[in-house]
Amino acid sequence: MSEKPWGGRFESPTDEFVEAFNASTDVDARMYAEDIAGSKAHAKMLCQQGILSSEDLKAILRGLDVVYGEIESGELEFTIALEDVHMNIESRLTALIGDAGKRLHTARSRNDQVTTDTRLYLRRRTDGMIDRLRHLQSVLVLLAEEHAASIMPGFTHLQTAQPVTLGHHLLAYVEMFERDAARFLDARQRMNQCPLGSAALAGTTFPIDRYMTADLLGFDAPTANSLDAVSDRDYIMELLAAASICSIHLSRFSEELILWMSAQFGFIDLPDAFCTGSSIMPQKKNPDMPELVRGKSGRIIGGLVAILTTVKGLPLAYNKDMQEDKTAVFDAFDNLEGCLRVFGDMLPGMKVNKEVLHKAASSGFATATDLADALVRAGVPFRDAHEIVGKSVGHCIREKIELHAMDAAACAAIDARLNVEMVRELSVEACVAARDHIGGTAPQQVLQQVALWQQRLATGATASDSTMGSGE
Ligand code: ARG
């Protein structure tokens, strides 16, 4: 009985199954470094405020270092009997240093402690995620530079629409990942406030200095309302929303890579190291990594739904339901980081079949819009031009030829305004080169965007300036 830090008012022990069911060590053990940093900051503040003696502080700081070492080396194993990372560490500290360890929890509750640890932990992981996003962006920018003028079909409705450059297509994902990084940064900034001192829910009777703990832990400020601070899980929702959107971008990208690698498309080949074979069909090389990444978005989005639903009906302030908050976000972060890593490592080895891409862009009447534009420039109203080109396409389908192969007689038969020169000038190169404005697919524009991105990624704030405050 006495081994539970809260056991005083209890007469009989916890049910054995409940003990295991109630425990969160398997999920929260990974926050041990943050828990120890938080305890160090709290102890220093207690001492500065005259709430803890300097002898006790010294013992606590030394003891926490020992506990940290024991966890790192695997010497200290957490027990579910002590429920979570917080009570395991405090109990080991007390075993090491005695009464001073028992004084550490003055003016603190696990309710402010757990959300402080979680914010610190997720702040570090968010910085890591942003770094992964930046890396993937640089990989894509490099590929975009190489393929600034590689022509491929652009699709709408997955039907050939107009020629685009592969560089332009890849830079579309650089834009998406930029918004993802911005969402993570935005959430990071909002969550970077220190709940310590909110205690159980109402604050504490001790003369604490919340600015000091906030500062020691690298937070921008203390939270302003104790009830809000211990029950707020917005930051987990926001991070999971950012993670979900990012995973959707990766999933769309995956879908394209999977299509492009099929024999029917034949646009690309992914490196062997990121594919697997079939145990029965010897010819198979399957794009497992994009498929798995596409699949991961399901569980990451599941995590977002889980946290939203968990918090939805909760009265203020802390409720035990909230222990479920970490499972989803940790799982989502582990998996999303894995996805970003796999893409960053896989894409530099992607083989692009430029001839196949070019051929695909040159068939399927991808230049039809440009023929209509040429008629418009010759004074034909756009709707008439659309009709004339539509008839031309019909003619070509019947004759099994491409638009540029139409002869003068065929042009004249369709419409007197259709000049064979316009038809002969059609080329996919001309199509992409003509879209030469900001946001357009012209190789020129792609190279300009590449240069801009290279500059931004080299100088950009990567949020790696975070300081957890080692507590030193
Ligand atoms: N294990 C708990 C969690 O992760 C820690 C906070 C518990 N607080 C409490 N009063 N039971 O949420």
- Residue 463 pLDDT > 50: no
CB 185 within 8 A of CB 193: no
CB 308 within 8 A of CB 237: yes
Please state the rounded mean pLDDT for residues 126-137: 98
Q: Is the CB of 28 under 6 A from ligand 1?
A: yes
Pairs from 455-460 (Cβ < 8 Å, separation ≥ 24): 457/134, 457/137, 457/138, 457/141, 460/134
pLDDT band of 471, cuts 50, 70, 90: very low
Pocket test for ligand 1, best of 87, 114, 121 (most atoms within 8 A of CB): 114
pLDDT band of 278, cuts 50, 70, 90: confident
Q: Which atom of ligand 1 is nearest to the CA of 28?
A: 4
- Residue 472 pLDDT > 80: no
**Could you tell me the fold of the domain covering 7-106?**
Fumarase C; Chain B, domain 1 (1.10.275)
Q: What is the pLDDT of residues 289-330, one digit of tens each?
A: 999 999 999 999 999 999 999 999 999 999 999 999 999 999
Please state the rounded mean pLDDT for residues 222-247: 98
Q: What is the pLDDT of residue 308?
A: 98
- Residue 1 pLDDT > 90: no
Please state the rounded mean pLDDT for residues 428-443: 97
Q: Is the CB of 110 under 6 A from ligand 1?
A: yes
- Residue 468 pLDDT > 80: no
CB 111 within 8 A of CB 318: yes
- For tokens 């900001």, name the residue: 438
Taking the domains of the chain in order of start, what are their residue ranges?
Answer: 7-106, 111-147+166-208+218-351, 368-426
Q: What is the pLDDT of residues 146-155, one digit of tens each?
A: 999 999 999 9
- For tokens 């971008």, name the residue: 249
- Residue 2 pLDDT > 70: no
Q: What is the pLDDT of residue 230?
A: 98
The vertex-210 CA angle with 209 and 211, nearest 5°, equals 95
**Could you tell me the fold of the domain covering 111-147+166-208+218-351?**
Fumarase C; Chain A, domain 2 (1.20.200)
Q: What is the pLDDT of residues 38-57, one digit of tens each?
A: 999 999 999 999 999 999 99
Give catalytic residue positions: 157, 278
Q: Is the CB of 111 under 6 A from ligand 1?
A: yes
Instruction: Give CA–CA dist 106/204, Å, rounded.
Output: 9
- Residue 200 pLDDT > 50: yes
Q: What is the pLDDT of residue 465?
A: 42
Q: Is the CB of 322 under 6 A from ligand 1?
A: yes
- Residue 464 pLDDT > 90: no
Q: For ligand 1, atom 2, name the residue with the nearest CA.
A: 323
Q: For ligand 1, atom 3, name the residue with the nearest CA.
A: 323
Sequential DSSP letters for 61-99: HHHHHHHHHHHHHT-SPP-GGG-SHHHHHHHHHHHHHTH
- Residue 104 pLDDT > 60: yes
- Residue 467 pLDDT > 60: no
pLDDT band of 282, cuts 50, 70, 90: confident
164 φ, ψ (degrees, to nearest 5): -135, 175
Q: What is the pLDDT of residue 462?
A: 42
Lowest average pLDDT, out of 171-180, 216-225, 361-370, 459-468, goes to 459-468
CA 332 to ligand 1 center in whole angstroms: 21
Please state the rounded mean pLDDT for residues 164-181: 98
pLDDT band of 3, cuts 50, 70, 90: confident
Q: What is the pLDDT of residue 459?
A: 87
pLDDT band of 284, cuts 50, 70, 90: confident
pLDDT band of 274, cuts 50, 70, 90: very high
Q: For ligand 1, atom 12, name the residue with the nearest CA.
A: 323
CB count in 10 Å sphere of residue 135: 18
Instruction: Give CA–CA dist 165/350, Å, rounded.
Output: 16
CA 267 → CA 166, 357, 472, distances in Å?
A: 11, 6, 55
Upper half-sphere CA count for residue 266 (Cβ side, 13 Å): 10
Q: For ligand 1, atom 1, name the residue with the nearest CA.
A: 84
Mean pLDDT score of the chain, rounded to an integer?
95
198 φ, ψ (degrees, to nearest 5): -70, -20
Q: What is the pLDDT of residue 466?
A: 43
Q: Is the CB of 25 under 6 A from ligand 1?
A: no
- Residue 364 pLDDT > 70: yes
More reliable by pLDDT, 225 or 280: 225
Q: Which atom of ligand 1 is nearest to the CA of 200?
A: 10
Would you say domain 368-426 falls under CATH 1.10.40.30?
Answer: yes
Please state the rounded mean pLDDT for residues 104-117: 98
Beta bridge partners of 391: none
Q: What is the pLDDT of residues 58-98, one digit of tens each?
A: 999 999 999 999 999 999 999 999 999 999 999 999 999 99
